Amino acid sequence: MSLASFRHGVHPAEHKDDSAGLPIERMPFVARYVLPLAQHGGKPAVAEVAVGQRVTRGSRIARADGFVSAALHAPVTGTIQALGLRRHPNGSQVPSIEIEADPYDPQSPPGGAAMDPGSLGPDAFVAAVQSGGIVGLGGAAFPAHVKYAVPADRPVHELVVNGCECEPYLTCDHRTMVERAADVVRGVRILARHLGVERSTIAVEANKPDAIAALQGVLRDVLAGDAGIAVVPLAVKYPQGAEKMLLKALSGREVPPGKLPLDLGFVVNNVGTMVALADWFDRRMPLIERVITVAGPGVERPANLVVPLGTPVGEVLDRCGLSRATREVVLGGPMMGQPLASLDAPVLKGTSGILAFTDAEVARPNEYTCLKCGRCLEACANLLNPSRLARLARAGRLDELERAYVMDCMECGACSFACPSHIPIVQLIRAAKSSLRDRKAKG
Ligand code: SF4
Ligand code: SF4
């Protein structure tokens, strides 16, 4: 049976075998945690603690600044060591809260009596999600409640939960679906009720049969199959997990340029976000930790780890063993992830993986002239013309780039992956988009 997918795309080697079968373990607590206030899309949180103050694990340490923002909570019990500039994974120095963990505290998980999401009206539900600090855990880290504040005139028909995890190496969502299938389904039910949808779909690439079986098992055994939730296997192709590609595969419909899934009646969320909802409403645990994959040829002991937010990347790599041959550490997947300038940078809410690469993967092959072979066009799931965008970007022709829909590029890197001339297409496009944004900001 052929599986649903989208047009174009690429098939990078999966590299998931080293970690896909490894159960999620817990990262031991370390001495120091650094929490940048800019953890998520939108406005950074506002610190509401003072140096020397004792905080307990799960207590709020920063409030959301306006609607498109999320609260921040202490990942450990300890003392506020500093409020100041610290290194963000993107290389910049950003306002942060530093906590010294109490080495004598048992670091018991926070918790309390469950909050019944069904007792909350729509606004109260949205506010509750915001106060839990919950963001989309698929990588973009956009505050989750913003998607849940659906205007009355734009009804949602379907909730789509994204379990594709199409980036090579990453297996944190895979293990979450296998080991916490009941909580994934619980989160889906919480959110589906709020959105008022009768149909929800959990989409999983077909290379995760154990995850599909675990989710189907919960639906069959716990919910007797009548919860209006379907688990749909999709073809294995990159970037299947991109929202627009996911909707194209599931519904056959295109999200037009400049529009959102909501314009077609969909809300799309990641499987990890569903677990975060279940943890918050059922166990009163705000978003203070997340599952990440630590893998790549430079990692001696690959792992799927629950890591408290703010843990320095270097501490995680110490636990997993960093080979001396490592040349580059990337946060996220190899296609869209961010190379790290310093291992002092902390794990953030949006960190899905820590990958270590050696010379063999990092070597930049010589660039050749464009062969006009069209492979980048075949790769682009957004049906853009990447070779033209790269040419215009190199020439700094911003107006023409804008007219060629450069802002629709999701920076998935499929074009660069496909290019036999090794033209750094996505890097050129990324720089051009940044110039366009700067130009717009300056008016
Ligand atoms: S990076 Fe942009 S241009 Fe390249 S394939 Fe992805 S969406 Fe298309
Ligand atoms: S894939 Fe590379 S060589 Fe081929 S048309 Fe695109 S930019 Fe040119």
Rounded to two decimals, the pTM is: 0.94
Residue whose Cα lies nearest atom 4 of ligand 2: it is 373
Rounded to the nearest angstrom, the distance between the alpha carbon of 249 and the centre of ligand 1 is: 18
Provide the 10 A C-beta neighbour count for residue 372: 7
Ligand number nearest CA of 428 is 1
| Among candidate residues 274, 277, 290, 297, the one with its CA nearest the CA of residue 352 | 290
Residue whose Cα lies nearest atom 7 of ligand 2: it is 387
Ligand 2 pocket, residues with Cβ under 6 angstroms: 370-376, 387, 418-421, 423, 425
So what's the pLDDT on residue 293? 98
Name the CA radius of gyration of the chain, rounded. 21
Rounded to the nearest angstrom, the distance between the alpha carbon of 261 and the centre of ligand 2 is: 30
Ligand number nearest CA of 380 is 1
So what's the pLDDT on residue 430? 94
pLDDT digits (tens, 9 = 90+) for 193-241: 999 998 999 999 999 999 999 999 999 987 777 779 999 999 999 999 9
pLDDT digits (tens, 9 = 90+) for 300-331: 999 999 999 999 999 999 999 999 999 999 99
pLDDT digits (tens, 9 = 90+) for 374-409: 999 999 999 999 999 999 999 999 999 999 999 999
Share of residues in the chain with pLDDT > 90 (%): 88
Residue whose Cα lies nearest atom 4 of ligand 1: it is 415
Contact 285, 270 (CB under 8 A): no
Mean per-residue pLDDT for 156-178? 97
Please state whether the peptide bond connecting residue 239 to the residue before it is cis, i.e. omega within 30 degrees of 0.
Answer: yes
Instruction: Tell me what the pLDDT averaged over the chain comes to.
Output: 95
So what's the pLDDT on residue 112? 86
So what's the pLDDT on residue 363? 84
So what's the pLDDT on residue 1? 59
Ligand 2 atom with the shortest distance to the CA of 390: 7
Given pLDDT bands bounded at 50, 70 and 90, which one contains residue 41?
Answer: confident
Mean per-residue pLDDT for 31-54? 95
Rounded to the nearest angstrom, the distance between the alpha carbon of 385 and the centre of ligand 2 is: 10
Given pLDDT bands bounded at 50, 70 and 90, which one contains residue 134?
Answer: very high
Rounded to the nearest angstrom, the distance between the alpha carbon of 288 and the centre of ligand 1 is: 33
pLDDT digits (tens, 9 = 90+) for 95-129: 999 999 999 999 999 988 999 999 999 999 999 99
So what's the pLDDT on residue 304? 98
Mean per-residue pLDDT for 423-432? 96
Provide the 10 A C-beta neighbour count for residue 245: 27
Residue whose Cα lies nearest atom 2 of ligand 2: it is 419
Q: Which residue has the tokens 């003392």?
A: 79
Rounded to the nearest angstrom, the distance between the alpha carbon of 312 and the centre of ligand 1 is: 31
**Domains contained in the chain, CATH given:** 113-283 (3.40.50.11540), 375-442 (no CATH)
pLDDT digits (tens, 9 = 90+) for 240-279: 999 999 999 999 998 888 888 999 999 999 999 999 999 9
Given pLDDT bands bounded at 50, 70 and 90, which one contains residue 299?
Answer: very high
For CA atoms 380, 382, 384, 390, the dihedral sign is negative
Q: Pocket of ligand 2, candidates 376, 385, 428: which has the most ligand atoms within 8 Å of its Cβ, to mutate? A: 376
Give the single-character DSSP code of 344. Answer: T
d(CA 18, CA 269): 26
